[in-house]
Amino acid sequence: MANLKVRKFNTIDQVQHFLNGGITGGSGHVKPREGGPPGANLVGLTLTFLNPAGTVTFVAGAKPNGLLLYKEFKSQIETAIPTVVVKMLEDGSIAFIEATPTTGAVLKGDGTPATNANTVLGFDKDTNAVGKVYGSPYSPVPAVAPYFVQMYSSNDNTHVVTTYE
């Protein structure tokens, strides 16, 4: 049964990412001042996307120790799967979104921690991370879930979003 859901976000960028079907890993898994994700933990690990479909296995970066810079991490994913866009949010979270949002990004959770990069980036290794693209409540008529209902800023400097799904 469809119902209303209310969520809070710290930035407008997070709201846009959410409403356009993006998925976000746990915060703090990337240290922006260090230039990228924990590369030593990613080399040889794999990310598998169900939507847009594709797989990337990380290879060593250009640094002498093989650690990946953020730009190398982003490039490896976006080269292997051109329909995925990689972003780093202000809190250090890694975020994935479809290049042209249609139904939402889906990252596969296959339960194999030995080769799965999900947990290193703050995603569940066992459960798929599923984004949804939220449509308009006005088109089509009647509206089809999931859709955006309303948004407002609260006194604690956060953005509150209501969706119907």
Average pLDDT by stretches of 10, the chain with 165 residues: 91 93 76 47 89 94 81 94 92 90 94 82 90 88 87 93 94
Q: Are strands 129-130 and 53-57 parallel, antiparallel or unpaired?
A: unpaired
Contact of 94 with 86, CB cutoff 8 Å: yes
**CB contact set of 127 (below 8 Å; sequence gap of 6+):** 109
Residue ranges of the domains in the chain?
Answer: 21-133
Whether this prediction's pTM lies above 0.85 is answered by: yes
pLDDT of residue 61: 85
